[in-house]
């Protein structure tokens, strides 16, 4: 908890904060290995093609499924509604009928998941409009929830009904603590449940660039926790910190400047010789060189493009050309709220982070069926970098979201682990914000 | 100008506002009939397939085109860059090369327009990534511009090079005063230049719902100014105000509750009998019934869905079934920032406004080639409705955008007139925010 958050949740702090109408950031429930994903029953409603597959998935994850509130089961920890069958705007009323009586009984860090169909996949104009309308509903619910609650919309393609479990496990658990207001698309999966949901990446090799610090180190830790051998990559200048991270996660380290002309070839050679290829590639390395455009010299532009985008494009090309990305591989980018909404002083950075979204769009289509390509887009994450931001701007960034607090590096890492999961082969072409439903947007 | 804006632009106000780091909203240049669209030369750069068609369009609108800054032509009023040929992330550098030396010379209410290609229309992964990256660049530039400047990205489909003039005229002129940070897609046009650019809708019939007040009345006025006969529709209770608007714009009035079961049939009959059909349909009628979801009764949900979405779907169906929408027709919806980002207390309203986006998606595909379907999504617009919002919330809504001020109803109306324009037949399936590049987003 940051200092304001501690204060706001203390006895006196609650009083002051309440009287002044200030935000009261609720401590978020986060994933603890071995603990159940939810601390209460799931209320399941709606009547589309997804109800039964979702019920089965909830059973598989050990969640208790209730039909109504007020039984002995106690406060619901999650409200899950299958809206995929809603085929007219009049029938949107079913959302109100399900949520209105129960939304206020949702427990702390509660979860709302609305399930729908990709609008263009539906048969009629009425369905298409109604399915698109779910987005406005879900995002509003996300903004209304208190005490750490989140709301998401999951659009499940026809034929992908059995592919939702990894996504539900992520969204319902504390792994998605800082994810809210997102629209996630799930298509048919090629691979079902892993042998062990606690170590789904056992036997896999994951590459994480920029792994020496901050978000990159957290990604390495979470992928290591999930069973992967993590190849931690960073520039030679970060060598010492990099080794520490690699040792901590039981992985290996690779000192390499990804912008060097021969870096893609050397990287592919390393992965091929040492590991026989790679399963998960996380392009996390990124830098900022902020200046408004009129004062930004060419060096600042070039450096940011080289690290944040050009090197990633070249590494992808080399991996695919050498067939070093193993079957059912994962390529995961790190975009940013700035890449979606733009930002003052960051024409260079925002260009590259929007380019990462372009990489997801282009490559996910190219490799569909044999790999997935997705990205996270972090909002305000508590790191050394954000700790250096001036107080007022930092506080604005931290509070201007539905959860009134910054996220942690682990929150970004958990979203990446969900993409990396073997059961997530139906999750392709998504850009998911890890931003607490930041107010900032395009 | 609102009172804060007047103060901030006064001599003493400038001092106070500058010392306190408060926003200084610059008076925006707006369209005045008969005046030239721009008050200075256009600097045109880049080297794609769009440079020459754009040069021709700029000539047609009477703009002076300069090759570089610092000539006798004075400060540029607009910077237009054709990035459609950028086919690698390295070549994104051309953005920096063009804009860096000249961006600070841009005059007040200056315009930045970046032209690109729809990423999926390009041939290579590199092009696709680079074209997508333009969005992050343009949105950042929009946030950096001072003194009423705006920045947009226009994605021109292959074969649509000659279809950009109506869009350029809109974006470069004061008609787009409150539009910034938008991504607009232009496809091939069926109809070229109108006989008279000052009265492009001469001989056309336009229907505007909710026309008695506020934004609806402004829409009726602007479409009337542009030469259309405007059928002003509103509920009988607004009859008196409605007649005044209809008289003022030289149109006719129609008292009708669009939610009535027989309303679509009566409306189609009226348009057919009196006018032989309709060219432009603007679904502007909308209501709010705010409550958080747990406290929102079913009547509030139903009323908002009925007015804001269900009636529009039924009217569209009736118009298309009766073939009452004339060739090269226009259907224009009014969405909202709340429909994109969600809003507290507006699960009903945001659902309908997201549904309007679904209507654009679904119907624009359905009628492509014989009509266009687009929507505006207003942000904070100065109306009687927003004047009633409590001061602090009102000031937050008003200032939290790149122009640090609210928009005017005429700004929404001008965007609608651009969609309605006969030369805009290539503008289909767009949702364009009229929000001053509001910080709020999804």
8 A C-beta contact, residue B283 and residue B333: yes
User: Taking CB atoms and an 8 Å limit, are B294 and A100 in contact across chains?
Assistant: yes
Contacts of A324 (CB under 8 A, 6+ apart): A268, A271, A272, A277, A278, A318
- pLDDT above 70: residue A72: no
- The Cα–Cα gap between B309 and A239 comes to 59
> What's the mean per-residue pLDDT of chain B?
94
Please report the ipTM that was assigned to this predicted complex. Answer: 0.96
Please give the backbone phi and psi of residue A186, each rounded to the nearest 5 degrees, phi first. Answer: -120, 125
Side by side, which strands form the sheet with B150-156? B65-66, B42-46, B78-82, B111-116, B150-156, B182-186
- Residue pair B347/A147 in contact (Cβ under 8 Å)? The answer is no
Q: pLDDT tens-digit profile of B391-420?
A: 888 888 899 999 999 999 999 999 999 999
Distance from CA of B145 to the nearest CA of A (A): 9
**For residue B155, which phi and psi values (nearest 5 degrees)?**
-100, 115
Phi, psi of B263, deg, nearest 5: -60, -50
Within an 8 Å CB–CB cutoff, is residue B149 touching chain A?
no
Tell me, yes or no, if B355 comes closer than 8 A to chain A by beta carbon.
yes
Comparing CB atoms, the residue among B342, B348, B361 nearest residue A128 is: B361
In chain B, DSSP finds a helix count (H) and a strand count (E) of: 16, 13
Alpha-helical (H) ranges within A258-408 are 263-275, 298-305, 311-321, 337-341, 347-366, 384-387, 391-399
Interface check B293 vs A, CB under 8 A: yes
By CA distance, what is A346's nearest residue in B? B140
Q: Measured between CB atoms, does B139 come within 8 Å of chain A?
A: yes
Task: Take residue B119 and report the two structure tokens written for it.
Answer: 């990423």
Distance CA B407, CA A372 (A): 42
Place of tokens 């520490």: A244
* Burial call A115-152: b when 16+ CB within 10 Å, e when fewer: bbbbbebbeebbbbbbbbbbbbbbbbbbbbbebbbbbb
Closest chain B residue to A146, measured at CA: B344
Residues of A whose CB is below 8 A from B142: 342
Average pLDDT over residues A314-336: 97
Q: In degrees rounded to 5, what are phi and psi of residue A344?
A: -65, 130
**Is the per-residue pLDDT at B361 higher than 70?**
yes
Instruction: Please say if the pLDDT value at position A68 is more than 60.
Output: yes
CA–CA dist B167, B366 (Å, integer)? 23
Is residue B143 less than 8 Å (CB to CB) from chain A? yes
Q: Is any Cβ of chain B less than 8 angstroms from the Cβ of A136? A: yes
User: What is the chain B residue with the closest CA to A139?
Assistant: B342
B277 conformational bin, left if phi > 0, alpha if psi -120 to 50, beta if neither = left
Range with the poorest average pLDDT among A192-206, B6-20, B149-163: B6-20
H/E stretch holding B233 reads: strand B229-234
Is residue A92 within 8 A of residue A143, CB to CB? The reply is no
Do residues A380 and A398 lie in contact, with contact meaning Cβ atoms separated by under 8 Å?
yes
Least confident range from A8-22, A182-196, B98-112: namely: A8-22
Q: Which two tokens stand for residue A430?
A: 């998504």
Residues of A within 8 A of B305 (CB-CB) are 89-90, 92-93
Kindly report whether the global pTM for this prediction surpasses the value 0.90: yes
Question: By the CB < 8 Å criterion, does B352 face chain A?
Answer: yes
Helix (H, G, I), strand (E, B) or coil at B279: strand
Query: What are the Cα distances from residue A398, in Å, to A74, A386, B36, B300?
Result: 33, 10, 45, 34
For chain A, what percent of residues have pLDDT higher than 70?
99
Model pLDDT, residue A37: 87
Contacts of B131 in chain A (CB under 8 A): 358
* Selected catalytic residue, list B349, B380, B418, B419: B349
Best CA proximity match to B404, nearest among B68, B46, B4, B77: B4
Section B97-110 average pLDDT: 96
**In b/e form, how buried is each residue of A315-341, taking b as 16+ CB within 10 angstroms?**
bbebbbebebbbebbbbbbbbbbbbbb
Give yes or no for B261 touching A (CB within 8 A).
no
A positions 306-325 inside 8 Å of B (CB): 309-310, 313, 317
Please check whether residue A215 is in contact with residue A381, taking contact to mean a CB–CB distance below 8 angstroms.
yes
Distance (Å, whole) CA B364 – CA A171: 33
Minimum-distance CB partner of A358 among B128, B339, B346: B128
Chain B, nearest residue to A132 by Cα? B358
State the pLDDT confidence band at B276, using cuts at 50, 70 and 90.
Answer: very high
What's the first-to-final CA gap in chain B, in angstroms? 29
Instruction: List CB contacts (< 8 A) between A292 and chain B.
Output: 144
What sign for the dihedral angle of Cα B33, B34, B37, B39? negative
Closest A-chain CA to B359 = A129
Whether B364 contacts B429, CB under 8 Å = yes
Lowest pLDDT segment from A4-18, A171-185, B343-357? A4-18
Tokens 């942690």 correspond to A408
Query: Chain B 382-441, CB below 8 Å of chain A: which residues?
Result: 439-441
d(CA A44, CA A113): 10
Nearest to A143 among B129, B130, B344 (CB): B344
Q: Which residues of A are annotated as catalytic?
A: 349
Q: What pLDDT, in 10s, does the model give residues B25-68? A: 899 999 999 888 898 999 999 999 999 999 999 999 999 998 77
Q: Determine contact, residues B386/A164, Cβ cutoff 8 Å.
A: no
Hey, is B2 helix, strand or coil?
coil
Q: Return the pLDDT at A370.
A: 94
Q: pLDDT (tens digit, 9 = 90+) per residue, B288-346?
A: 999 999 999 999 999 999 999 999 999 999 999 999 999 999 999 999 999 999 999 99
Q: Any CB–CB contact under 8 A between B22 and chain A?
A: no
Q: What is the secondary structure of B136-201 as a DSSP string?
A: HHHHHHHHH--TT-EEEEEEE-TT-GGG-HHHHHHHHSGGGTT--SEEEEE---SS---S-TTSTT
pLDDT computed for residue A73 by the predictor: 61
User: Could you give the CA distance from residue A303 to residue B245 in angstroms, rounded to a whole number?
Assistant: 57
A79 Cβ neighbours under 8 A, 6+ residues apart: A42, A43, A45, A98, A99, A102, A103, A106, A110, A111, A112, A113
């Amino acid at each position: 908890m940051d200092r304001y958050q501690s204060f706001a949740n203390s006895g006196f702090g609650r009083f002051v904060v309440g009287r002044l109408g200030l935000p009261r950031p609720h401590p978020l429930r986060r994933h603890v290995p071995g603990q159940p994903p939810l601390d209460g029953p799931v209320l399941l409603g709606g009547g589309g093609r997804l109800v039964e597959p979702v019920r089965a998935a909830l059973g598989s994850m050990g969640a208790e499924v209730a039909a109504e509130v007020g039984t002995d089961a106690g406060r619901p920890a999650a409200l899950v509604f299958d809206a995929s069958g809603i085929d007219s705007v009049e029938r949107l009323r079913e959302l109100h009928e399900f949520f209105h009586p129960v939304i206020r009984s949702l427990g702390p860090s509660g979860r709302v998941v609305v399930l729908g169909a990709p609008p263009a996949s539906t048969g009629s104009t009425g369905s298409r409009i109604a399915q698109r309308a779910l987005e406005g509903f879900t995002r509003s619910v996300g903004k209304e929830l208190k005490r750490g609650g989140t709301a998401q919309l999951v659009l499940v393609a026809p034929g992908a009904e059995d592919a939702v479990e990894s996504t539900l496990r992520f969204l319902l658990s504390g792994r998605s603590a800082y994810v809210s207001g997102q629209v996630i698309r799930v298509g048919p999966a090629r691979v079902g449940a892993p042998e062990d949901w606690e170590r789904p990446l056992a036997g896999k090799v994951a590459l994480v660039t920029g792994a020496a610090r901050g978000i990159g180190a957290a990604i390495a830790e979470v992928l290591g926790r999930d069973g992967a051998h993590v190849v931690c990559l960073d520039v030679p200048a970060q060598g010492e910190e990099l080794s520490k991270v690699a040792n901590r996660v039981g992985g290996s380290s690779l000192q390499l400047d990804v912008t060097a002309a021969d870096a893609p070839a050397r990287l592919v050679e390393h992965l091929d010789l040492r590991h026989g290829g790679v399963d998960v590639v996380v392009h996390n390395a990124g830098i900022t060189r902020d200046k408004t455009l009129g004062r930004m010299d060419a060096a600042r532009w070039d450096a940011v493009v080289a690290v944040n985008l050009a090197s990633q494009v070249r590494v992808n090309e080399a991996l695919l050309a050498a067939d070093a990305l193993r079957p059912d591989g994962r390529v995961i980018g790190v975009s940013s709220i700035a890449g979606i909404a733009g930002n003052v002083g960051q024409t260079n950075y925002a260009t590259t982070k929007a380019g990462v979204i372009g990489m997801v769009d282009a490559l996910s289509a190219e490799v569909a069926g044999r790999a997935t390509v997705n990205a996270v887009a972090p909002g305000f994450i508590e790191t050394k970098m954000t700790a250096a931001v001036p107080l007022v701007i930092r506080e604005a960034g931290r509070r201007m979201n539905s959860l009134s607090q910054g996220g942690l590096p682990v929150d970004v890492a958990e979203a990446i682990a969900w993409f990396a999961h073997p059961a997530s082969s139906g999750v392709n072409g998504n850009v998911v914000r890890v931003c607490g439903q930041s107010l900032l947007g395009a």
